Structure 1
Amino acid sequence: MENPEILLKRRRNADQTRLAKQQLASQGKRREKKNRFIRAESIVAKTLASQREKVRVKRINKSIKSHDRDNNKILDETQGGTKTTYDGKPQLLFVVRVKGPHAVSIPQKVFKILQVLRLEQVNTGVFFRLNPTTFQLLKIIAPYIVIGKPSLSTVRSLIQRRSRINWKGLQINLNDNNIVEEALGEHGIICMEDIVHEISTMGETFKQCCYFLLPFQLARQVSGFSALKRLKKLEQRQKERQVSNASSAPLVEIDIDQLLNEMN
């Protein structure tokens, strides 16, 4: 039987060797990233795409300042050019953050709006009250989102199954009506069903309920490995590219109930 001191020494040496190898590996990765070759075509493409995006934002800002209400339309070019008009009445939407145009630096104004809506991360979603003022915001961030009108069952399912909150410095799942009453009781909200009702009907405490909930973390869309699944995925990517790289960048309205079912 070996001396315990020798065993401890071997173990210590093994730990030091492992840490040294990890440090060398991390340094090698940093060097690879630092010395990675970037093609001139990539730089040019990124510059041109970013310039087009800045022009798009400036054009929308100009239309907002001129109060052009004829532009209050949701255009979905991915579905045969179907036009969905917005009549100015308040509507409940669920807004999902998606990947933006390829190789584009996000303009500062777009980034600020995404921050205000708490949509900094891809595959996150929030409830949103659409009106003529907020519609203009959606047009500015159109290439980075998709929107849909959630049904009551979808609103209830999201809140009951996926809602998370910041509570006393911790992020926790919302599954206790006592917490709801303590946080929102002064507004007359005492249970999760009250939150469902306020959001689905866009009640007086809609804003308080939405900001009480953290942005919903959505799973990646389900996709298989069969030939048909891969073809469908490629077609979807092509549609996204056509919308994202378009100079007009229309808002894309989808069946949000179906999308969320696929992400469950």
Structure 2
Amino acid sequence: MKRRVKRKVPEANSNTMIIIRIQGKKDMHPRTRKVLYSLGLRRRFSAVFVKPSEGIMAKLQRVEPYVTYGYPNLKSIKELIYKKGHARMEQRKVPLTDNNIIEQELGKFGIVCIEDMVHQIYNAGPHFKEVARFMWPFELNKPAEGLKGSKTIFKEGGDTGNREDLINELINKMN
């Protein structure tokens, strides 16, 4: 039986991180599935923004064969929220078509428009947690060229694991 090599937990290089699930549910350990669900990644090609911390990095190490992650730039965050952004209102998925929805839910934190949300996420502002919880996980498209070796790590020519700043290219392909 093959075993993964234990590696040290990587350091975070940015304020914000995006995690994209690229593997399905086949032959997955129940604990791994639980970690994916706790991150909000229930479906294949879904993505969420998180604030990097030791706890998140430890979770990512557990689910690394199923996800890819990196540090998005402002342009990628803005495009994702404008194109694929949905809000969670009363456990329903509502598209972000106007700022009234945002002002209604996040107005008490001083966030009144989509631009305020983008800057809270990019800078990992004081209300990052509320904005991230307000957002529904992004449902991305499958990349046109497909994926390389899905189970191998990105540094070894695969798709999973830490892409750092190269995650922006993948986001553009999947958006």
On whether the aligned pair clears a TM of 0.5, the verdict is: yes
Q: Give me the whole-angstrom Cα distance separating, in 1, the residues matched to 2:125 and 2:84.
A: 21
Q: Supply the AA of the counterpart residue of 2:59.
A: L
SS at match of 2:162: coil
Are 2:69 and 1:135 equivalent residues in the alignment?
Answer: no
**TM-score, normalising length: structure 2:** 0.84
Structure number having the greater strand percentage = 2
What corresponds to 1:181 in structure 2?
Answer: 103
Q: Give me the whole-angstrom Cα distance separating, in 2, the residues matched to 1:169 and 1:135.
A: 28
- Pick the structure with greater CA Rg: 1
Structure number having the greater helix percentage = 1
- RMSD, aligned CA: 2.7
Query: Residue deviations 1:39-77, cap 9 Å, x none?
Result: xxxxxxxxx5xxx5xx65xx86xxxxxxxxx8133xxxx
Q: For CA contacts below 8 A with separation 6 or more, give which structure has more relative contact order.
A: 2
Which of residues 150, 157, 161 in structure 2 aligns to 1:251? 161
CA shift, 1:169, in A, is: 5.5
CA shift, 1:90, in A, is: 5.7
CA spacing shift, 1:172–1:107, aligned 2, 3 Å: same
CA spacing shift, 1:185–1:220, aligned 2, 3 Å: same
SS at match of 1:190: coil
Q: Give me the whole-angstrom Cα distance separating, in 1, the residues matched to 2:91 and 2:150.
A: 38
Q: Which runs of 5+ in 2 are unaligned?
A: none
**TM-score, normalising length: structure 1:** 0.57
Contact 1:180 1:190 in 2 (8 A): yes
Percent of aligned pairs sharing the same letter: 26
Q: Which runs of 5+ in 1 are unaligned?
A: 1-47, 61-69, 74-85, 224-232
What corresponds to 1:121 in structure 2?
Answer: 43
Q: Give me the whole-angstrom Cα distance separating, in 1, the residues matched to 2:57 and 2:113.
A: 31
What corresponds to 1:72 in structure 2?
Answer: 9
Q: Supply the AA of the counterpart residue of 1:154.
A: S
Q: Give me the whole-angstrom Cα distance separating, in 2, the residues matched to 1:174 and 1:257.
A: 22
CA shift, 1:89, in A, is: 6.2
Are 2:73 and 1:151 equivalent residues in the alignment?
Answer: yes
Q: Give me the whole-angstrom Cα distance separating, in 2, the residues matched to 1:92 and 1:200.
A: 6
User: What is the number of residues matched between the two proteins?
Assistant: 170
Query: Residue deviations 1:128-179, cap 9 Å, x none?
Result: 1112222111101111100121110111111111101233564221021111
CA spacing shift, 1:189–1:197, aligned 2, 3 Å: same
Contact 1:91 1:131 in 2 (8 A): no
Q: Supply the AA of the counterpart residue of 1:261.
A: N
